[in-house]
Amino acid sequence: MAYSNLEKKRLYHKLYRQTHKDERRAEGKRYRAKYREALAIRAKLYIQPKPSPAEAQRRKLQRKEYDRKKYLNRREYYKEKARQYCLKNSFYAMERDARRRALKLEGQIEKINYRPLFAVLIGGSGLFCNWCGEFIEPRQISFDHIKPLSKGGLHIRENLQLLHLMCNKLKAAS
């Protein structure tokens, strides 16, 4: 069996380690004894002390600044990523936005599973707007609180319906 040079070298070192165990151990011991102080200093440098609260705060701000710059440098990329996420999870995003609005108004919150909710809403009215009665294209869908949050409506399943985005705005304005 032919070995390459590298393999030969590896085999040689492996054999050496196996046959010179005690010598290698003794050598290590000598080395550590000789450079005891230097090794101690190096260990101390390696294990850094816990930063003071002020220092920790400074580092946190530094990280934040770094993240901000990273975002600003690739703003379009991150915006597009967020947009893609929202498109992919638009029903979730809609439910989340509605929930946040409810939270702001200190309304009652029920975290609703958006997929079943969506199925129920479609099962109820089909993909038809409860405001104008027309068919809703998927990208026109919006969740609407039947009794508005601003008037004490709740963010619960029974108080949600599907409307056109535009109809939702018109309803809110009326």
Stretch near Zn ion under the rule CB under 5 A, chosen from 8-16, 93-101, 105-113, 123-131: 123-131
Token pair of 105 as six digits: 């108004």
Q: Is 162 in the site for Zn ion (CB under 5 A)?
A: no
- Considering only residues 117, 122, 127, 132, which one is a binding residue for Zn ion as defined by CB under 5 A? 132
d(CA 39, CA 27): 16
- Considering only residues 112, 121, 129, 149, which one is a binding residue for Zn ion as defined by CB under 5 A? 129
Q: Is 121 in the site for Zn ion (CB under 5 A)?
A: no
Q: Is 131 in the site for Zn ion (CB under 5 A)?
A: yes
Element (H, E) at 163: strand 160-164
**Shorter beta-carbon distance to Zn ion: residue 129 or 149:** 129
Token pair of 17 as six digits: 């380690």
**Shorter beta-carbon distance to Zn ion: residue 92 or 131:** 131
Shortest CB 50 distance to Zn ion, Å: 59
Q: Is 98 in the site for Zn ion (CB under 5 A)?
A: no
Token pair of 1 as six digits: 């069996």
**Cα angle 101, 84, 144; round to 5:** 30
Taking each helix axis from N to C end, the angle separating 114-125 and 90-104, rounded to the nearest 10 degrees, works out to 100
**Shorter beta-carbon distance to Zn ion: residue 107 or 141:** 141
d(CA 156, CA 81): 30
Binding site for Zn ion (CB under 5 A): 129, 131-132, 164, 167
